[in-house]
Amino acid sequence: MSKIRLEIFGLSYSQTQSGAYALVLSEVKGSRRLPIIIGGFEAQAIAIELEKMKPSRPLTHDLFRSMALSFSITVKEVFIYDLSEGIFYAKLMCESNGETKEIDARTSDAIAIGVRFNCPIFTTENIMSSSGILIDESNQLLGEEGNEDLSDLDEVPSNSMNSKSMDELQVMLDEALENEDYELATQIRDEINKRQ
């Protein structure tokens, strides 16, 4: 079975499920995208690592990485191998002392751990052909019901932060990090980055 390599395209609030996020994976060699609905905690864990934010205390996925490395276990890849009744199934391909092990995991957790090991993400052609979304060069969804612009898919709304000064945003960012509200911290950091 040939594997298709994916990369993280973006995270956005889910339009279909309250409190959930859409994690969008994109083919490395192709124009299809694979959206996966994940929970807020997992979205936060992925976003924190992608943004290279340092929480004051380790999150669960950071703890897993520290423990794995302490016992000479490395995660070599994330493999999304099945889709059944709308649920994606994944495994972590791990190596320890030259021996390879497969560990079953929720897809969102597997990716949150995978980004901490900087390892590749793969899936199958069957999953991409059944659940992938084809995107053209102008970032438009190609489908039967017309085109939908996906250019803002990786952006999180900035709420009412645009009325705040840079100093106020920095104070808000410090407070969000202190309170371990990493979802809000990511939004504030995005607003600061837009202004710089």
pLDDT in tens, 85-141: 889 999 999 999 999 999 999 999 999 999 999 999 999 999 998 888 877 555 554
Across 19-23, 143-147, 158-162, 177-181, which has the greatest mean pLDDT? 19-23
Q: Is the pLDDT of residue 69 over 80?
A: yes
Task: Please provide the DSSP assignment of 60-107 as one string.
Answer: HHHHHHHHHHHTTEEEEEEEEEEEETTEEEEEEEEEETTEEEEEEEEH
* Domain assignments of the chain as residue spans, ordered by start: 3-155, 157-196
Supply the pTM of this predicted model: 0.69
Q: Say which residues have a Cβ less than 8 Å from residue 18's Cβ, sequence separation at least 6.
A: none
pLDDT in tens, 138-147: 555 444 333 3
Q: What's the CATH superfamily of 3-155? A: Bifunctional nuclease domain (3.10.690.10)
